[in-house]
Structure 1
């Protein structure tokens, strides 16, 4: 079924650039649009142009705004295209302009017009006015009689996504005989102030007014109709941005309140000032007591001067409480809180300071010299003089070099020395590169570890074990319950996701096939996930030191999991957790290489093998091992590969952020729509030398058009083609995409490490284990052996030789450490 459907699509792709008319049974139930405006002469073929362009006057707030283009076809045959919309400082479309949306693809009959619309959300641009521009067929998919008339210019659009400040509320005396008080709100000029019953700005507003040029608005409140203990208000901008909520107690005796009162409130008493650490924002809760009904201003790092960070009102017993979020300060910074009270007659108390707060260092950093002026000056994850804790020094025994990696001390060989015999007692005993007979790389113990003794370790792979899915996800959540993190991640499949301007449709079977059954076993959708019942089975632990980037990381360490159905059977769904190997110094790289190689020297059957492997994986999979990352976690990305949620087969990629696991582009892989397209042809031709050298980069956009894929969709046997390009360049480009490497280009059935049933070892693809397949385009034989390449690379690191098993001779590499033999443009 899969083969037939996708073969048809693949064959259809070879017709790109040919005109295909509508089928004879075309059922056009849609109303015709307006005809092409008078005076536009029909031309041969397809000829799109933008007749008119409209949009909102302001972009802002959290609601989507629609833009519309009247798209016409001056040609004599129908055409299918989309319209891309841009914001520009001038009225000329060029590379400096910002893409904001693209319509769906629409069919425009000959001599007719259709409406092309799209929704625009948040735009990351400075606040100012821009021209709205549009371009039909921006990716140049459709051949037209005239390609020069596809752009249109609309009116001006103002961009404003900054919310207004919360209004400052106070009750003021009436100047007339009205029995109802006036609520005065101070905010930005020309905002709309809406007043609500209660203190949470919820429900239907009871009154509203516009602020004047000075930012004031007064609203009369009918206390008999809207009798409340508190009232609240928000400020609304014309752009759609909304302020935070301010509240105020209902007035008591509002007629000329406090007219003769000149006594300030007593100094507030602060009973609590509790901070909660955050890397970008910090939460603060302040509690205390003061005069009943007084307004309390909370100031951060300022002695009751300027605008308070928050204002609240004391209740009838004088207690007040404020919860606010403030911009985070650097580690080792001292934060101060000040509070002052003001009564109804505007008398102000003295300023009171609360407890000081010493901002902790981010995970992986420390203030070892005790000087707050230079903050958290030490990186505990890689400083050999402060490794893991301040003043912990890494010793340098014998000919080895002490090195700190992930906050743990270890040894690496100095430049020009090698540990050929694997004997820790004599360290790096050799001043010559090791011979092949003493430097044998074990693929199964050092590179691709799939042995059941590891992936079904009775201690480390069970719930709570170091290699269990729940433990690894808990580390990503800062050693807290990972239920929220994992739910948020899995639910990204249940709603459309827009990445790089490309919208991925929802794959709703995530709920019915994976998350829903797991939640049912955990007690329900509102309960913490039970990770002892997590539907994930470990398939392999992978050493990817060939992905090292000196100065940044020593490579990657990966855990490959298969996803299970409710009965524990493997699904066509794998998840790869890809961690950086922390440390990019030559010594750190050498230490990682030495430690991976020692696994092979022990052998899979050695009783200490799994313990040594865990000590190694702990250095990249735990919290606090890589400074500067969320929770100090070294995750580079999570990549998924599945067919069970919907057709077609699809791969997605996710990054760990402070707010969870967020989808991102798939690297080196264009959107599937560019397969066999003129745009792909032009890209390959323009970058042919880099592609042949496997040094190319696939950009997110080309000419403002989203190019890099939001996912990698993989039809059966898929490989990338482009018309009239160099055959070898086509192969190298396709090989380095996710979709090409996992399908027709390498003769792979989607996964390089197969899902497995319990008690069975995962199977590796021909691309990994070695073998010959036919080039899908030329049918010439191509041989792959990626594990062999990785073995050669690791041998160069640990032994100074390029030899792996079965090879003879010794080749000493220049440089330290040896450069990776992995082409830069390969990320698999």
Structure 2
């Protein structure tokens, strides 16, 4: 079997733990080799494969570098030269960009169209349809008439670095980019004759795909409150679908077995493998005794089982009885779409091609007094294929204007949350993971845990928390070695493409639970990461600063505390009953000082980022299934498209 297709197989939903370790190892090696332009791809002791890497472009498009600048020059009626500055490329003569599984070479050898060898600017002569490019610019202008400003985020990251505005000017679309430390603009032509032979067009931004026509079927900008982070009381207190809290001191009301209740969602995950009561009890037994996860001991927190299950039993009739859904202590805080986590073939989360759908619950005492815990059920959306995923995005955008909102929302959540939603997966459930944030009375610190369905199905089992090294490795030589080896993936661009492995240099590495708060750092004297200016953050940020920042931000403990100034939950578990969930500044917009270097400011506005991503997804060009598009247009599209997200949260 060719290595590429072996890799795709290894990265499938049915991987066991040992297979996942192998696939992560392979992907890490492939990433480093392909990203920096090796002509032949090798993976450890496995044979080199080169030309066998074809088709299934998602995994290859993931590891394309993102240039800091692109120059388009017309050199013939149907040909162009693309010049791209890759700050992350080492000194070499050739770098490959993959489009639809095919490598396109870019040269930095000082020959032909390349002006100077070794200057980091790579050049490719490619077939190019300038009329198609101009038509695509007209379509982009049309889609931006009602959404004339978008946030700018560093490629692959959740760090906001500026804004971008769109203005139609005569025969072109003017795009102005305002960054923290600079500004740039480009006028995209509406007529192919505007780009004459020998003229160069400098495209000084990424994250907005150019070059091919996208459909303009969904022109209104995404409404985050109606399409992405749905917390409106008419939804979370839907009397037919939720078991809702009106106010503290009163028992819940509504439908205790409604389709959006914790009880029914757990019943759907169990899908007949056990009674719903036993299934829920089994989940919370994990806190009652020591758990061993990735060879790390995760100490018991027995008060969790006592406060949730034993008190639920008492309200249901006494010790050991079956749980009564009418006594459930979980209230719905929000329904969340994470289309930005759509699969690229290697994502830590988002294993369904259309990303994730989530239900966020908060714990209460049975009479709607808030307890310090949230529980998130995160589903892999079982939809694939470009047109299908694009249609999925359009449906969520159009949901905002629905006259039967809850019914239409329910039809969308049924796609991933209903029993049997994913026939080929364990328990036929689309559940990806269940994650908890907890600091109940008697617990010594905040802690995050994660649970998944084993390949054989049955009960949920505790697993590692992704992208988080064990806390014992913080500020150690081993963590410094990890950052030293992974900084090209941490910083990119695109940034945050690293994968924290189960083990590193022969030591167990990925954590079994995430205590918080944690300030992630490494001894500066042991770091060899360059201290030159960062390609993804404004001055005075260095590559070293951003390597540590991206490591920390993408841990569960960092994102939920010191890196984002969040009180552990992005949807506040302490939100008073009968009011919409309070959202963190990380979601709604915040700027704060970097906790490791007070001279640096980090900005976040994640709901705006997700909305922009959904707008782009809903206008996907889906070139693979359309009429043949010249290679040059596809290359431009690949280099300007948003970098994939590998965030676990």
> Which TM-score band applies after superposition, normalised by the shorter structure?
0.5 to 0.7
- Is the 8 Å Cα contact of residues 390 and 620 (structure 2) preserved in structure 1? no
Q: Distance in 2 between matches of 1:590 and 1:571?
A: 39
- Is the 8 Å Cα contact of residues 231 and 580 (structure 2) preserved in structure 1? yes
Q: Distance in 2 between matches of 1:814 and 1:528?
A: 59
1:457 aligns with 2:238: yes
Structure 2 residue corresponding to 1:825, chosen from 624, 646, 649: 646
The answer for the alignment partner of 1:760 in structure 2 is 579
- Is the 8 Å Cα contact of residues 341 and 646 (structure 2) preserved in structure 1? no
Structure 1 residues 485, 820: CA separation in 2 closer, same or farther (over 3 Å shift)? farther
Structure 1 residue corresponding to 2:496, chosen from 694, 717, 721: 694
Extract structure 1 runs of 4+ deviating beyond 6 A.
Answer: 416-421, 434-437, 812-820
Q: Distance in 2 between matches of 1:500 and 1:636?
A: 19
Structure 1 residues 754, 575: CA separation in 2 closer, same or farther (over 3 Å shift)? same
- Is the 8 Å Cα contact of residues 344 and 644 (structure 2) preserved in structure 1? no
- Is the 8 Å Cα contact of residues 463 and 470 (structure 1) preserved in structure 2? yes
Within a 5 Å distance, the mapping from 1:216-231 to structure 2 comes to none
Structure 1 residues 613, 765: CA separation in 2 closer, same or farther (over 3 Å shift)? same
- Is the 8 Å Cα contact of residues 719 and 734 (structure 1) preserved in structure 2? yes
- Is the 8 Å Cα contact of residues 427 and 458 (structure 2) preserved in structure 1? no
Q: Distance in 2 between matches of 1:478 and 1:677?
A: 44
The CA deviation string for residues 736-782 of structure 1, in whole angstroms up to 9 with x for no partner, is 11111111111111111111232111111111111111111111221
Q: Distance in 1 between matches of 2:312 and 2:423?
A: 33
Structure 2 residue corresponding to 1:671, chosen from 461, 470, 473: 470
1:634 aligns with 2:455: no
The answer for the alignment partner of 1:444 in structure 2 is 225
SS of alignment partner, residue 747 of structure 1: coil
The CA deviation string for residues 76-131 of structure 1, in whole angstroms up to 9 with x for no partner, is xxxxxxxxxxxxxxxxxxxxxxxxxxxxxxxxxxxxxxxxxxxxxxx99xxxxxxx
Offset of residue 572 of structure 1: 1.1
Q: Distance in 2 between matches of 1:818 and 1:483?
A: 50
Within a 5 Å distance, the mapping from 1:381-530 to structure 2 comes to 433=214, 438-461=219-242, 462-479=255-272, 481-530=275-324
- Is the 8 Å Cα contact of residues 490 and 515 (structure 1) preserved in structure 2? yes
Offset of residue 825 of structure 1: 3.3
Offset of residue 799 of structure 1: 3.0
Structure 1 residues 448, 815: CA separation in 2 closer, same or farther (over 3 Å shift)? farther
Gaps of 5+ in 1: 1-122, 125-415, 422-430, 802-811
Q: Distance in 2 between matches of 1:589 and 1:612?
A: 17
Q: Distance in 2 between matches of 1:631 and 1:796?
A: 34
1:748 aligns with 2:566: yes
Structure 2 residue corresponding to 1:561, chosen from 361, 377, 381: 361
TM-score (norm 1): 0.45
Structure 1 residues 822, 653: CA separation in 2 closer, same or farther (over 3 Å shift)? farther
Structure 1 residues 592, 671: CA separation in 2 closer, same or farther (over 3 Å shift)? same
The CA deviation string for residues 564-607 of structure 1, in whole angstroms up to 9 with x for no partner, is 124321111000000011122212211211211111233xxx3x
Offset of residue 816 of structure 1: 9.7
Q: Distance in 2 between matches of 1:540 and 1:822?
A: 27
Gaps of 5+ in 2: 1-16, 19-137, 145-211, 243-254, 346-351, 528-543, 622-632
Structure 1 residues 617, 820: CA separation in 2 closer, same or farther (over 3 Å shift)? farther
Structure 2 residue corresponding to 1:579, chosen from 376, 379, 398: 379
The answer for the alignment partner of 1:770 in structure 2 is 589
Offset of residue 813 of structure 1: 9.2
SS of alignment partner, residue 731 of structure 1: helix
Offset of residue 647 of structure 1: 1.4
Offset of residue 731 of structure 1: 0.6
The answer for the alignment partner of 2:448 in structure 1 is 651
Structure 1 residues 436, 614: CA separation in 2 closer, same or farther (over 3 Å shift)? closer
Structure 1 residues 820, 579: CA separation in 2 closer, same or farther (over 3 Å shift)? farther
Q: Distance in 1 between matches of 2:365 and 2:228?
A: 29
Offset of residue 707 of structure 1: 0.8
The answer for the alignment partner of 1:799 in structure 2 is 619
Q: Distance in 1 between matches of 2:302 and 2:359?
A: 26
SS of alignment partner, residue 601 of structure 1: coil
Structure 2 residue corresponding to 1:731, chosen from 549, 553, 558: 549
Q: Distance in 2 between matches of 1:450 and 1:720?
A: 32
Structure 1 residues 565, 815: CA separation in 2 closer, same or farther (over 3 Å shift)? farther
Structure 1 residues 820, 734: CA separation in 2 closer, same or farther (over 3 Å shift)? farther
SS of alignment partner, residue 333 of structure 2: strand
Within a 5 Å distance, the mapping from 1:266-415 to structure 2 comes to none
Structure 1 residues 619, 739: CA separation in 2 closer, same or farther (over 3 Å shift)? same
Structure 1 residues 472, 501: CA separation in 2 closer, same or farther (over 3 Å shift)? same
- Is the 8 Å Cα contact of residues 485 and 660 (structure 1) preserved in structure 2? yes
Structure 1 residues 530, 821: CA separation in 2 closer, same or farther (over 3 Å shift)? farther
Relative to its length, the structure with more helix (as a share) is 2
Structure 1 residue corresponding to 2:395, chosen from 592, 595, 598: 595
The answer for the alignment partner of 1:360 in structure 2 is none
Q: Distance in 1 between matches of 2:279 and 2:639?
A: 39
Q: Distance in 1 between matches of 2:279 and 2:592?
A: 41
Offset of residue 438 of structure 1: 2.9
Offset of residue 514 of structure 1: 1.4
Q: Distance in 2 between matches of 1:580 and 1:566?
A: 30
SS of alignment partner, residue 438 of structure 1: coil
The CA deviation string for residues 216-270 of structure 1, in whole angstroms up to 9 with x for no partner, is xxxxxxxxxxxxxxxxxxxxxxxxxxxxxxxxxxxxxxxxxxxxxxxxxxxxxxx
Instruction: Indicate the RMSD between aligned Cα atoms, in angstroms.
Output: 2.9
Q: Distance in 2 between matches of 1:649 and 1:583?
A: 35
Relative to its length, the structure with more strand (as a share) is 1
Structure 1 residues 821, 463: CA separation in 2 closer, same or farther (over 3 Å shift)? farther
The CA deviation string for residues 398-443 of structure 1, in whole angstroms up to 9 with x for no partner, is xxxxxxxxxxxxxxxxxx999989xxxxxxxxx9647799321101
Q: Distance in 2 between matches of 1:476 and 1:815?
A: 42
Structure 1 residues 799, 437: CA separation in 2 closer, same or farther (over 3 Å shift)? closer
- Is the 8 Å Cα contact of residues 139 and 216 (structure 2) preserved in structure 1? no
Matched residue count? 390
1:786 aligns with 2:631: no
SS of alignment partner, residue 400 of structure 2: helix
Q: Distance in 2 between matches of 1:686 and 1:457?
A: 50
Offset of residue 449 of structure 1: 0.5
Offset of residue 823 of structure 1: 4.5
- Is the 8 Å Cα contact of residues 467 and 499 (structure 2) preserved in structure 1? yes
Q: Distance in 2 between matches of 1:596 and 1:734?
A: 31
Structure 1 residues 539, 444: CA separation in 2 closer, same or farther (over 3 Å shift)? same
Within a 5 Å distance, the mapping from 1:148-159 to structure 2 comes to none
SS of alignment partner, residue 401 of structure 2: helix
Q: Distance in 2 between matches of 1:818 and 1:445?
A: 31
TM-score (norm 2): 0.57
Q: Distance in 2 between matches of 1:641 and 1:626?
A: 27
Offset of residue 483 of structure 1: 0.9
Q: Distance in 2 between matches of 1:819 and 1:546?
A: 16
SS of alignment partner, residue 597 of structure 2: coil
